[in-house]
Amino acid sequence: MHDIQNIEQKAKEIRRHIVKMIGKTQSGHPGGSLSCADLVAALYFDVMNVDPKNPQWADRDRFVMSKGHACPAMYAALAMKGYFPMEELDHLRELGSILQGHPYSGKTPGVDVSTGSLGQGLSVANGIALGGRMDNKDFYVYCLMGDGEIEEGQIWEAAMSAAHYQLDHVIGFVDYNHLQIDGTIEDVIGNVNIDGKFAAFGWNVLTVDGHNIAALLEAIETAKATKGKPTVIIMNTVKGKGVSFMENQVGWHGKAPSAEQVEQALKELGE
Amino acid sequence: MNELIATRDAFGQALIDFSKDNKDIVVLDADLAHATMSCKFQEAVPERFYNMGIAEGDLIDTAAGLATTGKIPFACTFAMFAAGRAFEQIRNSVAYPRLNVKVCGSHGGIAVGKDGATHQAIEDLALMAAVPNMVVINPGDAVEMRAAVKAMIEYDGPVYVRLGRNPVPVVFDEKTYHFEIGKGIKVREGKDVTLVATGALFDVANKAAGELAKIGVEAEVINIATIKPLDKALITESAKKTGRVVVMEEGIIVGGLGSAVAAALSESCPVPMRYIGMDDCFGQSGDAADLMEYYGMSVENTVKKVKELL
C-alpha cells in the first residue's frame, strides 16, 4: 500500500526546503524546483529502491535530474533520506559546498549523474539502462526533463535510441509547466504536441496531473508493466506550485525570494 | 622499409584483442564504424557494440551513462564530430564527473584529404587538452596505438585518443616498446636541435632528422604520444642540451602541442623555437600527401625551420 498522505507531507517539506535554501543563498531556480517536488517526493519516498547508507549500491534505481537547475528539490529529498546531514542544505551554492548550483556526482552523495547543461540527461539515462541490462540487473532509471529542455535536439536523439534499443527500464518525465526563461514554451518556439512527438518516436506515453501523488504512482506502475519500449510520463504541472505569488509566473524561473517572501511562502507551505 | 599500418586499424584490432579478457569493454559508434574501424569489434563482439546513429551528443552521453555502471565505453566517431560537435557533452558529462569514457576520434588532422575542411579535425587535440581531467593521446604508429589502447583500459578516467586514417610506418618494436600515459620517448639522440613531434608527424620528424644528418646537423627526436599530461621533464632536458626546439603536429599550433611545449619551456628552459602545423587556417580538399606538403608538414619545411634556428 502506498502512503499517499506521507508522500504529500514529504512533498510539502521539500517545497519548504527549496524556498529556504534559495532564499538563504539568494540564488537558484525556485519555479521549476517547486513544480517537480511532488514527483521527487514520490520517487524518493515510495518508488525508488535506494540505500542512502550505500549510495553506490549496484542494484539501486537511478534518478537523473536532467533539468539540473531544479536540483534544490533533489537535494532536499536526499538530505531527508539521510544521504548527508540536513545542515548541508544551508550551504547551497556556497564556495566549497557539496551542493553545487547544478547536480554534481563528484561532490554530492546520492547524485548519480552530473547535469545542468540541458538536453543530456536522457542519453545518460539510456546508457545506465544499457549497462544494467548487460549485467542482467533489474533497476529502473528515472529521468526528469523540463518542457523547455526538450527543445534541445539531443533529447530526440536519445528518444530515438531508447526506442531502438527497447529500453523499457528507462522511465522519462516531462515537467510540463509551460514556462521557460523567456516566456511560455508556446510563445518562445512553439514546442507543442509533446505527447504526440514522443509517441511518434516509439514511446509509450502517459499523461497525468503532476501534483497528484496517486496518479503519479499509478502511471509509474503502468510504465513498469510496459515491456519492450520506454515510457514517458507527461506531468501537467504549475511552475512555482505551492507558493501563491510564484505560481505560473515566468519571473520566478531563476530568482531568489527576499526574506519577507520566504516567510510568506513558508506560511503557505504550512510552516 | 617499414611496414605501413594506419593507427585506426591497429586500434580496431587492439579493442578486439583486449576485450577478450575484459568483459567491461563496450564500443559505441555514430554510423562511422567502417571508418573508425570499430566495425571489427562489432563483428567480433556484437553483444557489446552499440551503433547510436548519426547523433554524436547522444553517443557521448550514452557512453557516460554506461561508465556509471562500471563499463569501459569506447565512443568512436570522426575527430571533428567527437571533439567538435560533442565538445560540450564531453566537457560536462564526461570530464567534469571524471567518468571512465574513452573518446576515440578518427580521421584527425588534415590527412582525411579530399573530404575537405569540414572533415579535417585540426583543433581536436587543442580542444580536448583544454578540458580539465582529460588525458589526450595521439599515437605515432600502430605499435604505440595498440599499447595506448591497453593503457587506456587500465587507466580509470576520461581519455581522448586520435586515430589516424592513413597508413604510417611502424617504427616501434612491439617486443620492447613500453607505453606510459604522460611519458614521451626519445627515439633519436642529437645535440643541435630537438624535434618534438606527435602522431603522423613523428614519421616526418624521423625522416627530417635523417636529412639533417646529411648536412651535419644532429637532431634529437622526441615522440610525444600524450599531449596531456605533457612530459615536460623529457622535453626540458633535451632543450637544455640542444638549445633549439621545433614542435611538429598535424593540427593547429595555437592550443595544440606547439603551445603546450612553448608554455612548458618558457618556464623551465626558454629556447628559440619554431612550429610545424596549421598556422591559424583551415585546410581544403586535396590528396593527403599534397596537403601535408602544401601546409608545410613536410620533411623539407622541417629542415628549413631547423636551419632558421642554427
What are the distances in angstroms from CA B35 to CA A255, B76, B141, B149? 48, 10, 18, 18
What are the distances in angstroms from CA B190 to CA A225, B209, B212, B242? 71, 9, 11, 8
Mean pLDDT of A173-183: 97
Q: Is the same domain home to B21 and B136?
A: yes
What confidence score (pLDDT) does residue B1 get? Answer: 65
Q: Is the same domain home to B198 and B151?
A: no
Domain extent for B23: 4-169
Mean pLDDT of B169-177: 94
Q: Which of B105, B136, B169 is the last residue of a domain?
A: B169
| Residue B63 to chain A, least CA–CA distance (Å) | 6
Does A1 have pLDDT greater than 90? no
Does A271 have pLDDT greater than 80? no
- B229: preceding bond cis by omega (within 30 degrees): yes
Widest CA span of chain A, in angstroms? 52
**CB B55 to CB A161 under 8 A?**
yes
Is there a domain that residue B177 lies in? no
Mean pLDDT of B25-52: 95
Closest residue, chain B, to A112 (C-alpha): B68
Is there a domain that residue B178 lies in? no
Instruction: In whole angstroms, give the CA distance from residue A202 to residue A226.
Output: 13
**CB B68 to CB A128 under 8 A?**
yes
Q: Pick the residue of A124, A137, A166 with the most B CBs within 10 A to test the interface with B by mutation.
A: A124
* Structural domain total, chain B: 2
Long-range pairs for A148-151 at CB < 8 Å and ≥24 separation?
A148/A118, A148/A179, A148/A180, A148/A181, A148/A185, A148/A188, A148/A191, A149/A66, A149/A67, A149/A118, A149/A119, A150/A119, A150/A174, A150/A191, A150/A194, A151/A180, A151/A185, A151/A188, A151/A189, A151/A191
| Residue A158 to chain B, least CA–CA distance (Å) | 6
Nearest by CB to A132, from B62, B69, B96: name it: B69
Q: Which of B169, B201, B231 is the last residue of a domain?
A: B169
| Residue A107 to chain B, least CA–CA distance (Å) | 9
Inter-axis angle of helices A121-134 and A153-164, to 10 degrees? 20
What confidence score (pLDDT) does residue B112 get? Answer: 85
**CB A154 to CB B70 under 8 A?**
no
State chain B's mean pLDDT as an integer: 96
Is there a domain that residue B109 lies in? yes
* Structural domain total, chain A: 1
- Under the banding of pLDDT at 50, 70 and 90, the label for residue B111 is confident
Is there a domain that residue B54 lies in? yes
Q: Which of B169, B197, B223 is the last residue of a domain?
A: B169
% helix, strand, coil for chain A, step of 5: 45, 10, 40
Q: Which three cell numbers stand for residue A265?
A: 511562502
Tell me, rounded to whole angstroms, the distance of Cα A2 from its chain centroid: 20
Q: Is the same domain home to B20 and B151?
A: yes
pLDDT digits (tens, 9 = 90+) for B247-271: 999 999 999 999 999 999 999 999 9
Q: Which residues of B touch A121 (CB under 8 A)?
A: 61
Domain extent for A219: 4-268
State the CATH number of the domain containing residue B209: 3.40.50.920
Q: List A207's β-bridge partners, or say none.
A: A234
The ipTM of this complex is 0.97
What confidence score (pLDDT) does residue B113 get? Answer: 86
What are the distances in angstroms from CA B19 to CA A31, A152, B42, B104, B158? 47, 35, 12, 16, 18
Q: Is the same domain home to B74 and B161?
A: yes
Instruction: In whole angstroms, give the CA distance from residue A196 to residue A229.
Output: 16
Instruction: In whole angstroms, give the CA distance from residue A133 to residue B83.
Output: 29
Q: Is the same domain home to B20 and B149?
A: yes
State the CATH number of the domain containing residue A88: 3.40.50.970
Q: Is the same domain home to B23 and B60?
A: yes
pLDDT digits (tens, 9 = 90+) for A108-135: 999 999 999 999 999 999 999 999 999 9
Closest residue, chain B, to A64 (C-alpha): B65
Q: Which three cell numbers stand for residue A68?
A: 539540473
Mean pLDDT of B292-298: 97
Is there a domain that residue B243 lies in? yes
Mean pLDDT of B200-213: 97
DSSP state for residue A184 in the 8-state scheme: E
Selecting among B43, B47, B56, B180, the annotated active-site residue is: B56
Residue A190 has a CB neighbour count (10 Å cut-off) of 10
pLDDT digits (tens, 9 = 90+) for B16-28: 999 999 999 999 9
Q: Is the same domain home to B228 and B93?
A: no
Q: Is the same domain home to B8 and B99?
A: yes
DSSP state for residue A183 in the 8-state scheme: E
Q: Where is average pLDDT lowest: A57-66, B92-101, B105-114? A: B105-114
State chain A's mean pLDDT as an integer: 97
Instruction: In whole angstroms, give the CA distance from residue A191 to residue B169.
Output: 54
Chain A residues within 8 angstroms (CB to CB) of chain B: 58, 62, 104-106, 112-117, 119-121, 123-132, 134-135, 153-154, 157-158, 160-161, 164-165
